Amino acid sequence: RRGLSVAAGPPNTRQLREAEEAAPVFQYAGKAARRKDRVFVWGFTYSGALGVPSFVRPDAGWKKPRRIQPTPYRLETEEKISSAACGYGFTLLASNTRDITKVWGMGLNKDSQLGFQRSRRDQTKGYEYVLEPSPIPLPLEKPQETRVLQVSCGRAHSLVLTDSEGVFTMGNNSYGQCGRKVVEDEIYSGSHLIHQLKDFDSRVVQVVCGQDHSLFRTKKGTVYACGWGADGQTGLGHYNITSVPTKLRGDIAGVNIIQVSSCGDCCLAVSDEGDVFGWGNSEYLQLASVTETTQVNVPRHLPFKIGKVKEAACGGTGNAVLTEEGNVFVWGYGILGKGPNLIETAVPEMIPPSLFGWSDFSPDIRVAHVRCGLSQFAALTNRGELFVWGKNLRGCLGTGRKEDQYFPWRVTVPGEVVDVACGVDHMVSTVKSF
Amino acid sequence: LNAAPGRAPRQQVRFLPAPAAGGGGAVELVAARVPVLADHPLVRGPRFRRLKIGAGHRLDVKASGVFVLGIGRGNKLLTDLYNCHLTKVYTVGGLFGKATDDFSDTGKLVEKTTFDHITREKLERILAVIQGTNQKALLMYSNIDMKTQEAYELAVKGLIRPMGKSPPIITAVRCLQFALPEFQLEIHCLHETQQYLRKMVHEIGLELKSSAVCTQVRRIRDGVFTLDDALPRTQWDLQSIREAIQNCQLKVEAELEKTL
């Protein structure tokens, strides 16, 4: 019997400590680890507006196409996206870069709202549905110096705002919403035409698309409008279409407007002193606090006693404003966010801050931004959480459930939400990872 | 308890012979109160031989803090309190840089990582996300129809709670102290176990691209009972227990009435 090998007993404390100190240390993130910027999309997929082709045309034969993406899905983009906008079945993503490709579009392209996307099968025709984020060629004079600041989408047209070359418009122009003269029987599908608008009193700092009209806000605080006006949404004092951007007068003449918003046929503007002005459709009591008529074609001051207003968001049938204290007020018609009993109101009602996560435990939570879709609302808190409520049309709320949401509900996004854009049946958000 | 003066023995009336009021040797029967022999303490024995003691929510061997016990008829109140589903508050201490197999610092080492990139801001961001997802779970497991007006009103007041079985839910988290590599959190939770809290510390470490182990779990509140009501080891005697029971009686009754 040799007895050379000794059975290993339980390790005593000294051996354990030595093993611990000798263990290698792994580094997963260094001191210079940066937070990455990501884009998340959710909602109805078959229009291609989410930019994920495998939802519509699966890459394996046994996979089924996904009609609705009910929770946020990460979209891979080549560049950091600084601005996103959702239209009626299409999306625009813009980056603040100096490279030649600054804007990508996906979704419906039947009116060339995403520019001309050359089809690979037939070089003369364009794609009617774009399933992947595809670059939009803008006719820039200095493509390597100009930066795209913001994009906005309407029903069938889109606006791109640059810092030194004005506003580019493309898409349907049957009501003059692209800011150029209406051509009778113009065929918009497969059109190469992108119009440039430079004729404003000062530099344009915000562009907003309503359903069939466009609003431009300049640095001086004036607002220009063009497009369909049958509901008075152009605010120019008449109900005809306007094909050239014209300055608005009425109650906002001489007032420094700091924000404009529109999604359907109603428009809201916020001045630097915290006053709210509205014009356009009022069939859903949006402007019923000042008038009984259902269309208002001149901007009117809305005398609300809710404090200084910081931001306004105008939806299809309901509106929301955010005050300086961080409270959200809603009015209009539809699911407003105060339970199933509040269907319509002409006077703004506050949504209790406890629904946004405010409590004695965390008293410094405030709502930082409000956004509106056609029948949905979205609110972003200062902690980077996203709350949505409204009609859950084809999964556009992103809650993972199919039912409508009658009060603000958190959307689980793996990251801090920086901004969100709401469309009719889909939403896009720009997020910073942890 | 047994040393305390017991019930006075029962009295009975017996007719006992006693010498007559007058003189002579005649014997009269006089009624007198006499204690019953069967009630004598030496016959009866100690009053309490066993006490029924029940425990409230479980507490680990490695954890410490408030532990609720019920004596005798208090056990029924214990089940009622359990059905109230009140939140418990823990202070959890953690250490960055290590990962062990049982998530506490006495376990077998699995991995060591760097942690100098962690800041208090990043930790608070992760805590906010944890709170957010648990808030959703709170609403979902409470089994209330979201479409009703009463669901909205309860949500506004913050009173929505799962009133049945549910997986562990955290209602609030807060960072109390942060001094690399150590940190301390205050966690309010429902239906949890201490091992779940240790696992949560481990997962926080993973989210921050490092690793963490749990060094301390201490329960500071269990429903209505706080650290002030709890008796430390030096006060485990009859007098203090009695006082403590009396002090908590009102609170427990109020809470039960409010919920049930």
> What mean pLDDT comes out for the span A38-54?
92
Find which of B100, B127, B136, B221 to mutate to test the A interface (most A CBs within 10 Å of its CB). B136
Give A376-433 pLDDT, tens digit per residue: 999 999 988 999 999 998 889 988 888 899 989 888 888 899 999 999 999 999 999 8
Q: Which of A340, A352, A362 lies at the smallest CB-CB distance from B156?
A: A352
Question: By the CB < 8 Å criterion, does B206 face chain A?
Answer: no
The domain made up of A36-432 is a member of CATH 2.130.10.30: yes
Q: What average pLDDT does the structure give for chain A?
A: 90
At A382, which amino acid appears?
N
- Examine the domain organization and report whether B26 and B106 are in the same domain: no
**pLDDT for the residue A3:** 66
Residue B10 confidence (pLDDT) above 70: yes
Residue B22 confidence (pLDDT) above 80: no
- Examine the domain organization and report whether B89 and B216 are in the same domain: yes
**pLDDT for the residue A151:** 94
The ipTM is 0.76
Query: Catalytic site residue B102?
Result: no
Question: By the CB < 8 Å criterion, does B28 face chain A?
Answer: no
**pLDDT for the residue A147:** 92
- Examine the domain organization and report whether B245 and B209 are in the same domain: yes
* A278 within 8 A of A284, measured Cβ to Cβ: no
Shortest Cα–Cα distance, B46 to chain A (Å): 50
Give A146-172 pLDDT, tens digit per residue: 999 999 999 999 999 999 999 999 999
Catalytic annotation, pick one of B39, B60, B105, B229? B60
- Examine the domain organization and report whether B122 and B211 are in the same domain: yes
- Examine the domain organization and report whether B135 and B43 are in the same domain: no
Q: Own/partner pairs for A381-385, CB < 8 Å, 24+ apart?
A: A381/A356, A381/A357, A382/A326, A383/A357, A383/A416, A383/B125, A383/B128, A384/A415, A384/A416, A384/A417, A384/A418, A384/A432, A384/B125, A384/B128, A385/A356, A385/A357, A385/A410, A385/A417, A385/B128, A385/B132
Residues 2-61 (A) with a CB less than 8 A from some CB of B: 19-20, 23-31, 33
- Examine the domain organization and report whether B46 and B74 are in the same domain: no
The residue of chain B with its CA nearest to that of A355 is: B156
Residue A230's CB is within 10 A of a number of other CB atoms, namely 16
- Examine the domain organization and report whether B140 and B78 are in the same domain: yes
Give B57-114 pLDDT, tens digit per residue: 888 888 888 888 888 888 888 888 888 888 899 999 999 998 999 898 888 888 899 9
- Examine the domain organization and report whether B23 and B79 are in the same domain: no
Question: CA A374 to CA A88: how far, in whole Å?
Answer: 9
- Examine the domain organization and report whether B13 and B114 are in the same domain: no
Q: Which two tokens stand for residue B234?
A: 């030096």
Q: Helices B194-207 and B120-141 sit at what angle, rounded to 10 degrees?
A: 130
Q: Which two tokens stand for residue A71?
A: 């929770």
Domains in chain B: how many in total? 2
CATH of the domain at B149: 3.30.2350.10
- Examine the domain organization and report whether B98 and B119 are in the same domain: yes
Secondary structure in 3-state letters for chain B: CCCCCCCCCCEEEEEEEEECCCCCCCEEEEEEEEECHHHCHHHHCCCCCCCCEEECCCCCCCCEECCCEEECCHHHHHHHHHHHCCCEEEEEEEEECEEECCCECCCCEEEEECCCCCCHHHHHHHHHHHHHHHHHHHHHHCCCCCCCHHHHHHHHHCCCCCCCCCCCEEEEEEEEEEECCEEEEEEEEECCCHHHHHHHHHHHHHHCCCCEEEEEEEEEEECCEECCCCCCHHHCCHHHHHHHHHHHHHHHHHHHHHHC
Residue A1 confidence (pLDDT) above 70: no
Q: Which of A31, A338, A385 lies at the smallest CB-CB distance from B152?
A: A338
- Examine the domain organization and report whether B68 and B180 are in the same domain: yes
Segments forming the whole domain that contains residue B18: 1-50
**pLDDT for the residue A228:** 92
Q: Which two tokens stand for residue B28?
A: 């009269």
Report domain extents, chain A. Answer: 36-432
* A52 within 8 A of A44, measured Cβ to Cβ: no
Residue with tokens 């009336």: B13
Q: What is the pTM of this model?
A: 0.85
